[in-house]
Structure 1
Amino acid sequence: MLIAFDSTQQALRAEMLLEYVEIDIDICPTPKEITAGCALSIHFGEEDLEQVVRVIRDEQVEIRGIFKPAEQGYEQVAI
């Protein structure tokens, strides 16, 4: 699963918040298939989706969307 952002500030903020609640994440480049204003994305395990969405909503982090790999590129699954 992947969170894409419109700003680097929001990506760094999300990184801090998700690490605080001990979700295993990786910072990675935003795939070219996803149009976003920020070159950084956060990769996380699908098992953490519910908790990630809760943190994003509770802390009002601005994101482009949450995506999962699909046959051709990525498909948006949340927000």
Structure 2
Amino acid sequence: MLIAFDSTQQALRAEMLLEYADIEIDIRPTPKEITAGCALSIDFPQESLPQVKRVIVEEKVEIRGIFDRTDTGYIPVTL
């Protein structure tokens, strides 16, 4: 799964918060299929979705969206 952001500041803040929550993440370039204001995205395992959502909501992290990777591209996941 992938989180896209509108700002680098929010991407780096989310990285710090998710690492602090012991969630396995990887920073990567935002795929061109996803329109976002920031070139950085965060990959995380699907089983961590509930934890990731909790951190985003509780810490008021501003995101473009959470996306699930499929064979045909990325689909948005609702918070």
Is the TM value for this pair above 0.5? yes
* Counterpart AA for 2:59: E
* Counterpart AA for 1:45: P
TM-score scaled by structure 2?
0.97
Q: Distance in 1 between matches of 2:41 and 2:27?
A: 6
Q: Which consecutive unaligned segments of at least 5 residues does structure 1 have?
A: none
1:1-79 counterparts in 2 under 5 A? 1-79=1-79
Which consecutive aligned stretches of 4+ in structure 1 deviate over 6 angstroms post-superposition?
Answer: none
Q: Which consecutive unaligned segments of at least 5 residues does structure 2 have?
A: none
Please provide the CA RMSD for this pair: 0.7
Task: Render the CA deviation track for 1:9-66: whole Å, top value 9, x for unaligned.
Answer: 0000000000001000000000000000000000000000000000000000000000
1:73 Cα offset (Å): 1.2
Q: Any idea what SS the aligned residue of 1:28 has?
A: strand
Q: Distance in 1 between matches of 2:71 and 2:40?
A: 22
Q: Any idea what SS the aligned residue of 2:60 has?
A: coil
Percent of paired sites with the same residue: 72
